[in-house]
Amino acid sequence: MEKIVEGDVYWDRVMRALYSTDASIYEVMPLAVVFPKNVGDVINVVKYGYRNGVSIHARGAGSSLAGQAIGSGIILDFTKYMNRIIEMNVEENYVWVEPGIVMEKLNEVLEKYGKFFPPDPASSHFCTIGGMIGNNASGMRSVKYGNTIDYVEELKVVLSNGDIIHTKPINVDSIEFKEKLGLNTFEGKIYREIYKLFIDNRNIIEKSMPKVEKNASGYRIEYLLRNNVFNLSKIFVGSEGTLGIIVAAKLRIVDLPGKRGLLLAFFDSLEKATNSILTLLKYKPSALEIMDKKYIDLVRDHYEYMRERIPGKTESILIIEFEGENEDELKERLDIAKNVLTKQLGTAFNVEIALTEDEMENLFEVRRAAIPIINKTRGLRKYPAFIEDLVVPPDRLLEFIRGMYRILEKYGLDTIIFGHAGQGNIHTHPPINLKDPIDIDRMRAVCRDIYRLVVKLRGAISGEHGNGRLRTPFMKIEYPELLKIFVKVKEIFDPKNILNPGPKINYDDYY
């Protein structure tokens, strides 16, 4: 390996142990860890894997919550060397980057030009663009700005046999597209087969995809062809390193907003909060977050100043962010939304407005407070991520949350609920003892029941964190018809199953 790689190669136990975990509950010891210095290194490692049947696992910051950034073969860590901005064009609103660049670092540079890359996972201060593409990451502001997939325009990808391709939007009536289909290479074979797969199954894809605005489960095959334009780049977004290794990405960037401000709205019932969501969405907020009573109680218990701030009868809180060109426009939008909540709908019993950076930070602190608290909990039962990323259409949110409470109660579990209400994306962490086989069985049963409920409501089992090792075994519940199409996608791109085997397609272990 050292002979074919200019970057760093590690075989030692300590390094391998460091890379045996991500932010999930899983642990898999890799064979080796490689920090590629350039595209040539990536090609050589992939060719080595292809020849020798050794699996290759692309990795950014390793902050995945579902076990998709680990594996038993060679880990390719892009953070050390392949982390640069390759080209930036602020007039034409795009940037080419290497996959290992940290999202926040990219935005620090773009900010100087009044631009930003909008998808905003809570992990943006350490997660990489490669990992965001791998997971189709998104965050609080995706209710306005969309998800990573909406910003990936072109990619350079090393395929499973080591060939490198440049993917971009191509009109299907163009000569260029015909040439792609006619190529006598692995790339040509992929274009022919994936295009045919898409066309042959168009109706089933359309019919079977969850009816939600964010989805990190399965392959995003429905994005391949839009308005007669075929863009192979889209299938790599959310593919968790299972279809190809991204070595460069062209991302769309947008203008920074003029001003941002927040509303903190208090409700004396969950129903009143969820019933306000659809109306609030009409006013185009840039974030719309929800917290349930148990979440609020937890925050109140741990922070005295929150106790004073949150009225005793509060059963649910919405944090609603708006953007405006200037302060006047922003204030007007905040006032309108406040009026909607307190007068027009009459659902909130109190609404506070925050306009300064400090005030906004204080309010967002309420939203961020719970996870650090539960992570510090002592005792055998911890709060692992296992049903932490559910998504349903926002108009089904109340039905979903109530159903979820019922299911958890059936299994004797309690939980806190919070998340991106504007897109129906709920984060929840019931307590589980991962060393207790009974609790592990309970965990599986909860997943199965809750995923069935999600599917009944036309939702997805992951909105932004991905399938990984955690959710892949449940994909048959979500995609009874599409799963066989996903298997074909995997086989088209990775016939030897060397690219991050385990996540997305699991040949023998579906529930």
Ligand X SMILES: Cc1cc2nc3c(=O)[nH]c(=O)nc-3n(C[C@H](O)[C@H](O)[C@H](O)COP(=O)(O)OP(=O)(O)OC[C@H]3O[C@@H](n4cnc5c(N)ncnc54)[C@H](O)[C@@H]3O)c2cc1C
Closest CA to 240 of 160, 385, 118, 133: 133
Binding window for ligand X (CB under 6 A); candidates: 62-70, 280-288, 372-380, 480-488: 62-70
199 to 218: interface string for ligand X, x by CB under 6 A = --------------------
CA 260 to chain centre: 24
Amino acid present at 169: P
Contact call for residue 123 and ligand X (CB under 6 A): yes
Contact call for residue 138 and ligand X (CB under 6 A): yes
- Distance, in Å, from the CA atom of 130 to the CA atom of 113, rounded to the nearest integer, reads 23
Q: Which two structure tokens, joined as six digits, stand for 167?
A: 């993917």
Q: Which two structure tokens, joined as six digits, stand for 103?
A: 């999202």
Q: Of 62, 162, 394, 502, which one interacts with ligand X (CB under 6 A)?
A: 62
Q: Of 500, 501, 502, 505, which one interacts with ligand X (CB under 6 A)?
A: 500
- Residue 139 backbone dihedrals phi, psi, to 5 degrees: -160, -155
Contact call for residue 61 and ligand X (CB under 6 A): yes
- Distance, in Å, from the CA atom of 227 to the CA atom of 459, rounded to the nearest integer, reads 25
CA 98 to chain centre: 19
**Residue whose token pair is 């080591």:** 162
Instruction: Please list every residue from 207 through 266 that binds ligand X, using CB under 6 A.
Output: 240-241, 245-246
Contact call for residue 502 and ligand X (CB under 6 A): no
Q: Of 7, 73, 121, 424, which one interacts with ligand X (CB under 6 A)?
A: 121
Q: Of 20, 64, 231, 347, which one interacts with ligand X (CB under 6 A)?
A: 64
Least Å distance, CB 389 to ligand X, is: 8
**Burial zone of 380 (CB within 10 Å; 0-12 exposed, 13-18 middle, 19+ buried):** exposed
Least Å distance, CB 52 to ligand X, is: 20
The CA dihedral of 438, 443, 444, 449, to the nearest 10 degrees, is 120
Q: What is the 3-state secondary structure of 281-328? A: HCCCCCEEEEECHHHHHHHHHHCHHHHHHCCCCCCEEEEEEEEECCHH
Please identify, using beta-carbon distances, which residue of 465 and 490 lies nearer to ligand X: 465
Contact call for residue 83 and ligand X (CB under 6 A): no
93 to 112: interface string for ligand X, x by CB under 6 A = ------x-------------
SS3 102: strand
- What's the Cα-to-Cα distance from 201 to each of 109, 208, 235, 470, rounded to whole Å? 42, 10, 15, 27
Contact between 374 and 416 under an 8 Å Cβ cutoff? The reply is: yes
Contact call for residue 63 and ligand X (CB under 6 A): yes
Contact call for residue 159 and ligand X (CB under 6 A): no
- Distance, in Å, from the CA atom of 207 to the CA atom of 201, rounded to the nearest integer, reads 10
Binding window for ligand X (CB under 6 A); candidates: 59-67, 311-319, 439-447, 469-477: 59-67
Least Å distance, CB 138 to ligand X, is: 5
CA 300 to chain centre: 29
Instruction: Please list every residue from 460 through 489 that binds ligand X, using CB under 6 A.
Output: 464-465
Contact call for residue 132 and ligand X (CB under 6 A): yes
CA 317 to chain centre: 24
3-state helix, strand, coil in the chain (%, to 5): 40, 20, 40
Please identify, using beta-carbon distances, which residue of 57 and 250 lies nearer to ligand X: 57
Number of residues counted as binding ligand X (CB under 6 A): 36
Contact call for residue 155 and ligand X (CB under 6 A): no
Least Å distance, CB 495 to ligand X, is: 18
Q: Of 55, 128, 233, 316, which one interacts with ligand X (CB under 6 A)?
A: 128
Binding window for ligand X (CB under 6 A); candidates: 136-144, 270-278, 351-359, 487-495: 136-144
Contact call for residue 391 and ligand X (CB under 6 A): no
Contact call for residue 139 and ligand X (CB under 6 A): yes
Catalog residues that contact ligand X under the rule CB under 6 A: 22-23, 57-65, 68-69, 78, 99, 121-123, 127-128, 130-132, 134-135, 137-139, 240-241, 245-246, 464-465, 500, 503
